[in-house]
Chain A
Amino acid sequence: AQSVTQLGSHVSVSEGALVLLRCNYSSSVPPYLFWYVQYPNQGLQLLLKYTSAATLVKGINGFEAEFKKSETSFHLTKPSAHMSDAAEYFCAVTSTGTASKLTFGTGTRLQVTL
Protein backbone atom coordinates (compact mmCIF):
# COMPACT_ATOMS: atom_id res chain seq x y z
CA ALA A 1 0.00 0.00 0.00
CA GLN A 2 1.19 3.47 -0.76
CA SER A 3 2.18 5.91 1.96
CA VAL A 4 3.88 9.27 2.39
CA THR A 5 6.24 10.50 5.07
CA GLN A 6 6.53 14.16 5.91
CA LEU A 7 9.74 15.01 7.71
CA GLY A 8 9.27 17.70 10.31
CA SER A 9 5.93 18.33 11.94
CA HIS A 10 6.83 21.99 12.45
CA VAL A 11 8.92 24.25 10.24
CA SER A 12 9.69 27.88 11.02
CA VAL A 13 11.10 30.33 8.49
CA SER A 14 11.58 34.06 8.37
CA GLU A 15 9.52 36.15 6.02
CA GLY A 16 11.33 36.28 2.69
CA ALA A 17 13.27 33.06 3.31
CA LEU A 18 13.08 29.86 1.32
CA VAL A 19 10.37 27.42 2.26
CA LEU A 20 11.18 23.71 1.99
CA LEU A 21 8.70 21.11 3.16
CA ARG A 22 9.73 17.49 2.70
CA CYS A 23 7.68 14.57 1.48
CA ASN A 24 8.82 11.07 0.62
CA TYR A 25 6.51 8.50 -0.86
CA SER A 26 6.41 4.77 -0.83
CA SER A 27 4.49 3.28 -3.67
CA SER A 28 4.81 0.07 -5.58
CA VAL A 29 3.24 1.61 -8.66
CA PRO A 30 3.74 5.01 -10.27
CA PRO A 31 2.04 7.45 -7.96
CA TYR A 32 0.05 10.58 -8.26
CA LEU A 33 1.18 13.04 -5.63
CA PHE A 34 -0.54 16.06 -4.15
CA TRP A 35 0.18 18.90 -1.79
CA TYR A 36 -2.73 20.40 0.08
CA VAL A 37 -2.78 23.40 2.40
CA GLN A 38 -5.06 23.89 5.38
CA TYR A 39 -5.52 27.33 6.87
CA PRO A 40 -6.86 27.57 10.41
CA ASN A 41 -10.45 26.41 10.76
CA GLN A 42 -10.76 25.66 7.08
CA GLY A 43 -10.86 22.63 4.81
CA LEU A 44 -7.98 21.43 2.68
CA GLN A 45 -7.16 23.26 -0.53
CA LEU A 46 -5.10 21.84 -3.37
CA LEU A 47 -1.75 23.55 -3.91
CA LEU A 48 -0.46 21.38 -6.72
CA LYS A 49 -0.40 17.84 -8.07
CA TYR A 50 1.97 15.56 -9.94
CA THR A 51 0.38 13.31 -12.53
CA SER A 52 3.48 12.27 -14.53
CA ALA A 53 3.17 15.00 -17.15
CA ALA A 54 6.15 16.98 -15.82
CA THR A 55 8.50 16.42 -12.91
CA LEU A 56 8.49 20.07 -11.85
CA VAL A 57 5.02 21.13 -10.90
CA LYS A 58 3.98 24.70 -10.27
CA GLY A 59 1.06 25.45 -8.02
CA ILE A 60 -0.81 28.33 -6.55
CA ASN A 61 0.65 31.08 -4.37
CA GLY A 62 4.16 30.66 -5.79
CA PHE A 63 4.67 27.11 -4.57
CA GLU A 64 6.26 24.38 -6.63
CA ALA A 65 7.35 20.78 -6.14
CA GLU A 66 9.71 18.47 -7.95
CA PHE A 67 9.08 14.77 -8.39
CA LYS A 68 12.32 12.81 -8.02
CA LYS A 69 11.83 9.14 -8.65
CA SER A 70 15.40 8.25 -7.67
CA GLU A 71 14.85 9.79 -4.25
CA THR A 72 11.14 8.89 -3.99
CA SER A 73 10.58 12.49 -3.01
CA PHE A 74 8.14 15.26 -3.77
CA HIS A 75 9.36 18.22 -1.73
CA LEU A 76 7.41 21.49 -1.70
CA THR A 77 9.28 24.77 -2.09
CA LYS A 78 8.67 28.48 -2.30
CA PRO A 79 11.51 30.93 -2.90
CA SER A 80 10.26 33.62 -0.53
CA ALA A 81 7.93 33.03 2.38
CA HIS A 82 5.08 35.39 3.15
CA MET A 83 3.24 35.74 6.41
CA SER A 84 0.10 34.50 4.69
CA ASP A 85 1.80 31.14 4.00
CA ALA A 86 1.49 30.17 7.66
CA ALA A 87 -0.68 27.06 7.59
CA GLU A 88 -0.53 23.29 7.72
CA TYR A 89 0.63 21.46 4.62
CA PHE A 90 -0.22 17.90 3.72
CA CYS A 91 1.40 15.64 1.19
CA ALA A 92 -0.83 12.91 -0.25
CA VAL A 93 -0.47 9.99 -2.63
CA THR A 94 -2.70 7.83 -4.70
CA SER A 95 -1.84 5.23 -7.27
CA THR A 96 -2.72 4.81 -10.89
CA GLY A 97 -5.29 2.29 -11.88
CA THR A 98 -8.43 1.81 -9.92
CA ALA A 99 -7.42 3.37 -6.62
CA SER A 100 -9.29 6.56 -5.96
CA LYS A 101 -8.49 7.30 -2.39
CA LEU A 102 -5.73 9.54 -1.11
CA THR A 103 -3.35 8.62 1.66
CA PHE A 104 -2.23 11.70 3.56
CA GLY A 105 0.94 12.40 5.44
CA THR A 106 0.86 13.62 9.01
CA GLY A 107 1.21 17.25 7.99
CA THR A 108 3.78 19.99 8.49
CA ARG A 109 2.86 23.20 10.24
CA LEU A 110 4.65 26.15 8.69
CA GLN A 111 5.31 29.18 10.85
CA VAL A 112 6.50 32.41 9.23
CA THR A 113 8.21 34.97 11.46
CA LEU A 114 9.12 38.59 10.90
Chain B
Amino acid sequence: DAGVIQSPRHEVTEMGQEVTLRCKPISGHDYLFWYRQTMMRGLELLIYFNNNVPIDDSGMPEDRFSAKMPNASFSTLKIQPSEPRDSAVYFCASKVAGSQETQYFGPGTRLLVL
Protein backbone atom coordinates (compact mmCIF):
# COMPACT_ATOMS: atom_id res chain seq x y z
CA ASP B 1 0.00 0.00 0.00
CA ALA B 2 1.25 3.48 -0.84
CA GLY B 3 0.24 4.94 2.50
CA VAL B 4 -1.33 8.33 2.97
CA ILE B 5 -0.35 10.66 0.17
CA GLN B 6 -0.15 14.43 0.57
CA SER B 7 0.59 17.12 -1.94
CA PRO B 8 2.36 19.38 -2.27
CA ARG B 9 5.16 18.48 0.12
CA HIS B 10 6.27 22.08 0.31
CA GLU B 11 4.38 25.27 -0.39
CA VAL B 12 5.61 28.83 -0.27
CA THR B 13 3.07 31.55 -0.86
CA GLU B 14 2.48 35.18 -0.16
CA MET B 15 0.07 36.54 2.38
CA GLY B 16 -3.43 36.83 1.00
CA GLN B 17 -3.11 34.03 -1.48
CA GLU B 18 -5.30 30.93 -1.47
CA VAL B 19 -3.62 27.69 -0.48
CA THR B 20 -4.99 24.22 -1.14
CA LEU B 21 -3.53 21.15 0.47
CA ARG B 22 -4.46 17.70 -0.77
CA CYS B 23 -4.69 14.29 0.79
CA LYS B 24 -5.33 10.79 -0.45
CA PRO B 25 -6.08 8.38 2.42
CA ILE B 26 -5.22 4.71 2.48
CA SER B 27 -7.72 2.74 0.45
CA GLY B 28 -10.44 1.28 2.65
CA HIS B 29 -9.95 3.70 5.50
CA ASP B 30 -13.15 5.48 6.48
CA TYR B 31 -11.74 8.15 8.78
CA LEU B 32 -9.62 11.07 7.66
CA PHE B 33 -7.96 13.61 9.93
CA TRP B 34 -6.25 16.94 9.30
CA TYR B 35 -3.62 18.12 11.81
CA ARG B 36 -1.42 21.17 12.08
CA GLN B 37 1.99 21.11 13.74
CA THR B 38 3.80 24.23 14.96
CA MET B 39 6.55 24.81 17.47
CA MET B 40 4.28 26.94 19.61
CA ARG B 41 1.14 24.82 19.66
CA GLY B 42 2.40 21.32 18.92
CA LEU B 43 0.16 18.92 17.07
CA GLU B 44 -3.44 20.10 16.78
CA LEU B 45 -6.40 18.30 15.28
CA LEU B 46 -8.19 20.62 12.88
CA ILE B 47 -11.02 18.46 11.56
CA TYR B 48 -11.92 14.88 10.92
CA PHE B 49 -14.26 13.05 8.58
CA ASN B 50 -16.04 9.73 8.79
CA ASN B 51 -17.33 8.27 5.54
CA ASN B 52 -16.66 11.62 3.85
CA VAL B 53 -18.80 13.54 6.35
CA PRO B 54 -17.18 16.15 8.64
CA ILE B 55 -17.68 14.98 12.22
CA ASP B 56 -15.75 17.48 14.31
CA ASP B 57 -14.37 20.76 12.99
CA SER B 58 -13.91 22.41 16.37
CA GLY B 59 -10.18 22.68 15.80
CA MET B 60 -10.45 24.74 12.63
CA PRO B 61 -8.92 28.04 13.67
CA GLU B 62 -11.22 30.40 11.81
CA ASP B 63 -13.38 30.89 8.77
CA ARG B 64 -10.38 31.26 6.54
CA PHE B 65 -9.92 27.50 6.85
CA SER B 66 -12.20 25.02 5.12
CA ALA B 67 -11.97 21.30 4.42
CA LYS B 68 -13.83 19.02 2.08
CA MET B 69 -13.94 15.36 1.32
CA PRO B 70 -15.84 14.88 -1.95
CA ASN B 71 -15.16 11.15 -2.06
CA ALA B 72 -13.49 8.38 -0.09
CA SER B 73 -10.14 8.84 -1.78
CA PHE B 74 -9.61 12.59 -1.67
CA SER B 75 -9.71 15.49 0.74
CA THR B 76 -8.63 19.11 0.62
CA LEU B 77 -7.77 21.70 3.22
CA LYS B 78 -8.04 25.24 1.94
CA ILE B 79 -6.82 28.45 3.48
CA GLN B 80 -8.19 31.66 1.98
CA PRO B 81 -6.73 34.20 2.46
CA SER B 82 -3.51 32.86 3.91
CA GLU B 83 -1.59 34.70 6.65
CA PRO B 84 1.99 34.32 7.94
CA ARG B 85 0.71 32.75 11.16
CA ASP B 86 -0.65 29.86 9.10
CA SER B 87 2.90 28.74 8.44
CA ALA B 88 3.14 25.19 9.78
CA VAL B 89 3.35 21.56 8.79
CA TYR B 90 -0.05 20.14 7.92
CA PHE B 91 -0.58 16.41 8.27
CA CYS B 92 -3.29 14.20 6.98
CA ALA B 93 -4.00 10.84 8.64
CA SER B 94 -6.46 8.04 8.01
CA LYS B 95 -7.74 4.96 9.81
CA VAL B 96 -10.44 2.35 9.74
CA ALA B 97 -13.39 2.43 12.13
CA GLY B 98 -12.75 1.74 15.83
CA SER B 99 -11.25 4.01 18.48
CA GLN B 100 -8.30 1.72 19.10
CA GLU B 101 -7.31 1.57 15.50
CA THR B 102 -4.08 3.12 14.40
CA GLN B 103 -4.02 6.41 12.57
CA TYR B 104 -1.61 6.39 9.66
CA PHE B 105 0.02 9.70 8.90
CA GLY B 106 1.10 11.18 5.63
CA PRO B 107 4.48 12.88 5.20
CA GLY B 108 3.00 16.33 5.69
CA THR B 109 2.90 19.58 3.75
CA ARG B 110 5.27 22.26 4.94
CA LEU B 111 3.59 25.61 4.38
CA LEU B 112 5.37 28.93 4.51
CA VAL B 113 3.32 32.09 4.12
CA LEU B 114 5.44 35.17 3.50
Contact = CB atoms under 8 A, between A and B. Distances in A.
A44 to B, nearest CB: 4
A46 B95 CA distance: 12
Contact of A104 (B43, B99, B108, B110): B43
Interface residues of A, number: 26
Interface in A35-53: 36, 41-46, 49, 51
A100 B105 CA distance: 15
B105 A97 contact: no
B26 interface: no
Contacts of B104: 46
B106 A43 contact: yes
13 contacts: A43-B93, A44-B91, A45-B105, A46-B102, A46-B103, A49-B102, A95-B99, A96-B99, A100-B50, A101-B45, A101-B48, A104-B42, A105-B42
Interface of A: 32, 34, 36, 41-46, 49, 51, 90, 94-107
Given A95-B99, A100-B99, 8 more contacts: A43-B91, A43-B106, A44-B43, A44-B105, A51-B100, A97-B99, A101-B48, A107-B43
